A and B are shown apart, each in its own frame.
Chain A
Amino acid sequence: MKKLFYNLSYFIKEAKTTIKLNAMSNFFSFLSTGLIFFILAMVISGWWISNQVVAAIQGEAEISVYYVERIDNIGAAQLVERIKGIDGVRETRLVNESEAYRRMVEVLGKDARVLEYFDENPFSPFIEVKIQIEEMSAVLRELGTISGIDYVRDNREILDKIQNIAQILKVIGYLVITAVGITTLVIISHIIRMGINDNKEQINTLRLMGAPEGFIGFPFLLEGLTITIGGGVLASALAAVALNYVYAQVAGPLPFIPLPSREDLTSNLIVLIMSLSAVLGIAGSIFGLTSAKRN
């Protein structure tokens, strides 16, 4: 270990020389590693985001009950009481037209100007019903038996859809992780073998003088690590820019989508990509070193 430390500058110099020797291949390896890490980063953030959205929507477990127009305020109040009595309902509240309007103004923010084009309030009053998520179907069935209810808007459909997307992204995520792993290992082990091949004479000389394999291999490990860490940095930078862009696109016009915090997402993603690149860099180099030794 001490040896490793005091020879570090030698190892770095060696790694640099080896990289320069095949500058083009090393550069393209770095580039392709960076790009596949970036693809991975995008799939994983899609997966994380959809998971988060599902969790957020599930947490709400709220349905909106719209009632027929002829029901007046008193009738509505009765309806509220009736619904409150259903098993699985936690809370009910009547949201009148003006509150519905106010809420939409809040949601739209500065885009609320579009609402000014309406001559009168386009929103209907409704009953906001908070329920226990497990009781969703039972509650919906019960609501179906009550007269005067126009329709019920639940978020089950959209929940199912997002859940599906999350599921698909998860599968794609695993596939992409596997692909990225294999590709990186192949790229790195090949570039290492190439470096070893180009330095065959020198390596043999070092072996003849009794240099341990670790001493001989370490510069190549550094070479592999440089490529993957470089690729990781490139992917992280691209991912940060891409997420920034996506958030700017989504958060403005679709503010009600409960996205996870961009900072958290980005930093988690960077930690993941960088650890993955370090692990793959080391594994790929060791792979290359051992396979070159066999020949």
Chain B
Amino acid sequence: MIEAKGVFLRYSEGTMALKNINLKIEAGELIYITGPSGSGKTSLLKLFMGVEYPTEGALEVLGQSMNKNQYAKISQLRRSIGPVFQEFRLINGRTALENVILGMRFLDIPSGQLKVNAVNAIKKVGLEHKAHSLVENLSWGECQRIAIARAVARKPALILADEPTGNLDKDNALNILELLTSFKDKNTAVVITTHATHLIERDINARYIQMSKGSINYERLGIAINEETIL
């Protein structure tokens, strides 16, 4: 599903954000990416979405090799991804429902199905009573849920959630994580970045990747990495 071989990412103004990333993610996996601020979690997701390209190394996402000058193909690839952005990127002036529908309009979904899918997704995140509210009137946690609904309504092969627990209290953060992980199935991989190592369940079916200064520091299956285990 995702395969990175010796991937480096250097931003144009010089920061080496990722160093020698080797990583393989299979369909149906649940991946937690943790690490301190600035360790390169968002940068890694940006590579997966084709927002940035490897400066060095080879990266393939859903069968598409991620190179510059392939914009049309990368755009196509993005249609198979359900992104949950760190700052949501919901579209103001529109209701929650409209936002979720908008994420599907350019996919191969029959027009009659758009609203049904959107309503279902909003139900799954438990916000049917807010479906017709403008997104700028929603709380932080509600926005997070609508952003998740928009991502999953697209029936993506890959869900990429960047810091979905940020700015949420513990209960809400746990709810969001539980919600996101519930979308993992045999065809859908879920990748979640988070600072909140203490909240991650010790899910035996999950893989935990610890990043530090642009490198994968630690990677293991089944057991969450706590700050202690790193040191």
Contacts and interface: CB of A to CB of B under 8 A. Distances in A.
A209 B83 contact: yes
B103 A17 contact: no
A208 B75 CA distance: 8
B111 A6 contact: yes
Contact of B106 (A3, A201, A202): A3
Given A3-B106, A10-B105, A210 B91 contact: no
Contacts of B91: 201-202, 205
A248 to B, nearest CB: 50
Nearest to B80: A210
Q: Which of A7, A17, A201, A206 has the most CB of B within 10 A?
A: A206
A137 B93 CA distance: 77
A10 B91 CA distance: 14
A23 to B, nearest CB: 15
B77 interface: yes
Q: Which of A10, A201, A210, A212 has the most CB of B within 10 A?
A: A210
A174 interface: no
B51 to A, nearest CB: 7
Nearest to B46: A208
Interface in A166-207: 201-202, 204-207
A55 interface: no
A208 B102 CA distance: 13
Contacts, number: 49
Contacts of A201: 89, 91
Given A3-B106, A10-B105, A202-B91, A208 B111 contact: no
B192 interface: no
B79 interface: yes
Given A7-B105, A215-B106, A208 B93 contact: no
A141 B135 CA distance: 89
Contact of A210 (B79, B93, B111): B79
A77 interface: no
Interface string B67-79: 0000000011111
Interface in A1-51: 3, 6-7, 10, 17
Contacts of B51: 208
Contacts of B78: 207-210
A211 interface: yes
B81 interface: yes
A112 B91 CA distance: 74
A210 B77 contact: yes
B85 interface: yes
13 contacts: A10-B105, A205-B85, A206-B102, A208-B78, A209-B78, A209-B103, A209-B154, A210-B78, A210-B79, A210-B107, A211-B105, A212-B75, A213-B75
The 4 closest A-B pairs by CB, nearest first: A210-B78, A210-B79, A6-B111, A205-B89
Given A17-B93, A211-B105, A215-B106, 18 more contacts: A3-B105, A3-B106, A201-B91, A204-B89, A205-B91, A206-B106, A207-B75, A207-B78, A208-B49, A208-B51, A208-B78, A209-B78, A209-B81, A210-B75, A210-B76, A210-B77, A210-B78, A210-B81
